[in-house]
Structure 1
Amino acid sequence: MLDDSLLDDPAALRRADRDHALLALAGAGARVRTALRLAEGAGLAGLQPEGRPRAVLVAGHGSALTAAEALAALAGNGTLVQPLAPADARPAALFSEGHSWQLPGWAGPLDLVVAASADGTEDGLVKLAEQAYARGCAIAVIAPEGRPLAEAALQVRGLPLPYLPAADPEAFAGSAAAEPAEPDLPAEEVGALWAYLTPLLALADRIGVLDAPAEQLARAADLLDELAVRYRPDAAAYLNPAKDLAAQLSGTVPLLWCEGPLAAVAAERFAAMLAERAGRPAVAGLLPQVLSTHRGMITGRLGAGADPGDFFRDRVEEPDPLTVQVLVLRHTPQEAPAEPVEPEVLPEPGPATPTVRRARRLAADHEVRLTELAGTRAEPLHALAELVALTDFAAVYLGLAEQH
C-alpha cells in the first residue's frame, strides 16, 4: 500500500532509501561526463577505424543489453546493432560463472563485438572475446580496469573501455544493501545504464555507426542534471512529475504502450525498474500491436475491476481491487520555449498520431486510465534521457513509498 505522506517528507525518503538509489539517479549526469572522459583517455580519441562495421554485437546482461537496444534505436537502419543475451546458464556458485554467450554463425571480420560487464569477471564473456578473435571480429570491452575481461581485451587485440562504478558502493538497484546477495539474482547498480551507454555511444560515433559527438553527450549530462533537480526528493509531490507518476501507479498493473523504437527502449527499462525497485509487474509492447495483444487485459477483469466507490464494500476485508492502467510512451519533438517555464506535472505531450488516438479511444471505451509520457527534446538521445530519468525516479519513489 502506498504511503502518500512519505513522498512529501524528504527526510523520511532519505531514511527509507537505504541503498541510496535516489542519490545514484541524481549522479547520472556526472557519471556520463566521467565515463566519457575515461573512454577518451583509454584511447578512443586515437582510434582510426577502417570504415563502418557491418554489425555491432553487444554482449552482456541487464542494463548492458538495454544500452545495446538504445544504440540500435539511435542508430536506425544504417548499421545492424544486435544485443547478445546469455545463450546458456549452468549451475554455479556465482552468477558470473554460470552464463555463456554465443556469436551468431554469420559474425566475422566485418563485424564489431562489444563485451560489457560491470563486474568484469564473467568467464563466459572472456570466452566470447576469444571466440570473436578466432572469427576475425573487431573487439571492444567495457569493464572495470584490471578485471579478467579487461585483461582479455588486451590479449585479443581489442579496445578496453573502462566501466565507471558507482561512487557509492552501496548504491545498487536491489533492496536494502544489508541483505545478502543471491548468487542467481545479483543486484545491479541503478545508474549502470549510463555507465554502459556513454562509452558505447562514444565508440559508435568514432566508427561511424551514428552521430554522437562529445558535445551531444555533454548536453545529455546537463539535461540529466536538470531533471535530477526537478525530480529531487525535496520537491513537493504536486510539482514533481516522478512522484506524481509513482502515486498514479499504486495499486495497478501498468501496460506500457510505446510508439517507436526509442520509446520501446524506455518502456523496457521502466518495466525492469518497476520489477527491481518496486516488485511490480509491468507489460511493455509496441503500438499498434498491443491494441490487439493487450485487448484482453483492457476488457477483462483487471480492466473493469471492482467499483472503488462501492458504498457497501468492506474497506478492511476487501481492499482496493488491482486494475490495469495504460502508459503511452512517445517521442514528440517540440521547440524549446523562449523563456523558462515552471514545469508541469506530466505535461501535455503534444499532437497525437492516429495510432495514439486509437489507443486513447480503446482505453476510454473501457474506462481504463491512460497517461501519456513524452520525450519532447528534438535530439533523440536527449528525449531518451527525459523518459528514462522520469521513469527511473518514479520506480524508485514507488518502491520506497509502498515498502515503507
Structure 2
Amino acid sequence: MIDDSLLDDPAALQRADHEHALLGLAGAGARVRNALRLAEAAGLAGLRPDGRPRTVLVAGHGAALTAGSVLEALAVTSTQIAALPPHDVTHLAHGHHGTPAFTAGLVWQLPGWAGPLDLVVLATADGGEQGLVSLAQQAYARGCAIAVIAPAESLLAEAAPQVRALPLPYVPAAPVDTEEDLRPAEADLPAEEVGALWAFLTPLLALTERIGVTQLPEGSLEATADRLDELAVRCRPDAAAYTNPAKDLAAQLSGTVPLLWADGALTAVAAERFAAMLAERAGRPALPGVLPQVLTAHRGMLVAKLGGAADPDDFFRDRVDEPDPLLLQVVLLRRAAAVEDEFTDPGYAVSRARRLADAHGVRTSDLSTAETDPLQALAELIALADFAAVYLTLATP
C-alpha cells in the first residue's frame, strides 16, 4: 500500500527517485521545443512533399511504437498507419556502440506489400540496433521513402545518408547534475527513459504535418509544449496531494488492479500508455480497454468480485494475518464534452460503465480532459497518468 506521508514530503520523493523520473517528466515541454527546433534545422523546413504516402510504417520498440499508435489516432483517413515491432531475436549479445543485449538481436521485417508509395520511419533512443539498420536497407531496396529518428552519431544515424533517409534527431533527456545512482543496470531488461515518448512523437508529428498525414490545429505542437509545462507545475513534487491531480490519482490506485476504460480511439492510446507506465515504473498490472466493448471483456472480473475481502459475517476468522484485499478500480479516460448526453455515444457508454461498476461495488474515478485540440488532450491525459505512475512507485515502501 502507498505511504500517504511520502506524497507530501518532496525531499523524501527526491531521495526515492533514483532515476530522476520526476525531472524527466517535468522537462517534457522543453524537450518538445528542442525536438521541433532540431527537426527544422535537419531539413524538415525545406521538405517539398509530392502527395501523401499510402502507408506510414513506424518501426521501433517501446515508446517508439506508442508514438506510432498516437499517429494512428491522429492521422487523416486517407493514409494508413502501421506499427512494425520486432518479430524475432537472432541472438543475445552486445551490439554496436554498447547496445544492450535486449535490443542487440532484435529483427524487423517489412511487409510484402511495402514499396515506393510508402514511408518507413525508424525510431530508436539508442541507434545501435543492427536490426533497424537492416530494415532501412530493406526499405531502400523496395523504393520506400525513409525517415530516421535516432541520436546523432549513432549507427542508425550514420546509415541514414546511405539509404537517402531524412535524418530527424532524437533529443535525449537533459543531464541531471546529481550524484550518480550506482545500482547495477539490467542489460536484458533495461528501463526506458521516462520522457522518450515526446522525443519520438515530436519529430514524427512535425514530419507528418508537413506531408499532410496529420492535420492538427495551427501551432498545436508548440501549444502542447506549453501545456506540458503547465501540467508539470500542477504535478510538481512540492504541490500538496489535495491540489496535485497526479498524487491524488496515485493514492486512488494504491492496492488496486486498475481497469482503464477509454471512451474512444484517442483516449485508448492514453490508456495503453498508462498501463505500460504502471507496469514499467510501479510494477503493477493494469488492464486497458475501449468502451463499450470492454464492458463485455471485463465483465467476469466485476461479477467475480476479484480480490474481494473474506466473508464479513465470519466472526471467527483470523483477522490478524488476513492481507488487505486487492480491489478493482475503474479509471474512465475520456474527453469531456460541455454537456454529456445520456443517450449518445460515447456519453451513453460512459454513463453505462459507471452504473455497471457501481452495481458491483467497484469504485470509479475520472481521468478526463476538456481540450478540443486532440494532441493537447492526449498530452494532458498522458502527462497526468505518467506522473501518477511515478508517484505510485516512489510512495510505495
TM-score of Structure 1 vs Structure 2, range by shorter chain: over 0.9
Aligned to 2:154: 147
- The 5 Å alignment of 1:318-397 reads 318-334=322-338, 353-397=347-391
Are the aligned partners of 1:308 and 1:321 in contact in 2 as well (CA < 8 Å)?
Answer: no
Does residue 92 (structure 1) correspond to residue 96 (structure 2)? The answer is: no
Q: Alignment partner for residue 196 of structure 2, among 192, 212, 229?
A: 192
Are the aligned partners of 1:205 and 1:213 in contact in 2 as well (CA < 8 Å)?
Answer: no
Aligned to 1:206: 210
Deviation (angstroms), 1:311: 8.1
3-state DSSP of counterpart to 1:302: coil
Deviation (angstroms), 1:168: 2.5
Structure 1 length as normaliser, TM-score? Answer: 0.91
Are the aligned partners of 2:88 and 2:108 in contact in 1 as well (CA < 8 Å)?
Answer: yes
Deviation (angstroms), 1:179: 2.9
Aligned to 1:342: none
Aligned to 2:46: 46
CA distance, structure 2, for counterparts of residue 109 and residue 83 of structure 1:
18
- The 5 Å alignment of 1:243-258 reads 243-258=247-262
Does residue 55 (structure 1) correspond to residue 55 (structure 2)? The answer is: yes
Does residue 77 (structure 1) correspond to residue 77 (structure 2)? The answer is: yes
Distance 1:31 1:350, change over 3 A: farther
Deviations 1:336-394 (A, max 9, x none): xxxxxxxxxxxxx9556111111111101101011121121000000000100110000
Deviation (angstroms), 1:332: 2.3
Deviation (angstroms), 1:304: 4.1
- The residue type equivalent to 2:351 in the other structure is R
- The 5 Å alignment of 1:227-246 reads 227-246=231-250
3-state DSSP of counterpart to 1:238: coil
Are the aligned partners of 2:217 and 2:373 in contact in 1 as well (CA < 8 Å)?
Answer: no
Are the aligned partners of 1:170 and 1:177 in contact in 2 as well (CA < 8 Å)?
Answer: no
CA distance, structure 2, for counterparts of residue 313 and residue 193 of structure 1:
49
Q: Alignment partner for residue 272 of structure 2, among 268, 275, 281?
A: 268
Q: Which runs of 5+ in 1 are unaligned?
A: 335-348
- The residue type equivalent to 2:188 in the other structure is D
Distance 1:212 1:154, change over 3 A: farther
Distance 1:164 1:364, change over 3 A: same
CA distance, structure 2, for counterparts of residue 100 and residue 122 of structure 1:
9
- The residue type equivalent to 1:87 in the other structure is H
Deviations 1:14-70 (A, max 9, x none): 111111100110000000000000100000000111110000000000000000000
Are the aligned partners of 2:331 and 2:365 in contact in 1 as well (CA < 8 Å)?
Answer: yes
CA distance, structure 2, for counterparts of residue 137 and residue 308 of structure 1:
64
Deviation (angstroms), 1:303: 6.1
CA distance, structure 1, for counterparts of residue 82 and residue 225 of structure 2:
26
- The 5 Å alignment of 1:128-139 reads 128-139=135-146
Aligned residue pairs total: 385
Deviation (angstroms), 1:181: 2.4
CA distance, structure 2, for counterparts of residue 168 and residue 319 of structure 1:
42
Deviations 1:85-113 (A, max 9, x none): 10112331212311001111111100000
Deviations 1:157-180 (A, max 9, x none): 010100001112699xxxx95332
CA distance, structure 2, for counterparts of residue 303 and residue 182 of structure 1:
32
Deviation (angstroms), 1:183: 2.6
Are the aligned partners of 1:86 and 1:101 in contact in 2 as well (CA < 8 Å)?
Answer: yes
Aligned to 1:341: none
Aligned to 2:227: 223
Are the aligned partners of 1:19 and 1:170 in contact in 2 as well (CA < 8 Å)?
Answer: no
Are the aligned partners of 1:202 and 1:214 in contact in 2 as well (CA < 8 Å)?
Answer: no
Are the aligned partners of 1:327 and 1:372 in contact in 2 as well (CA < 8 Å)?
Answer: yes
CA distance, structure 2, for counterparts of residue 199 and residue 309 of structure 1:
59
Deviation (angstroms), 1:306: 4.1
CA distance, structure 1, for counterparts of residue 232 and residue 364 of structure 2:
25
CA distance, structure 1, for counterparts of residue 243 and residue 200 of structure 2:
31
3-state DSSP of counterpart to 1:106: coil
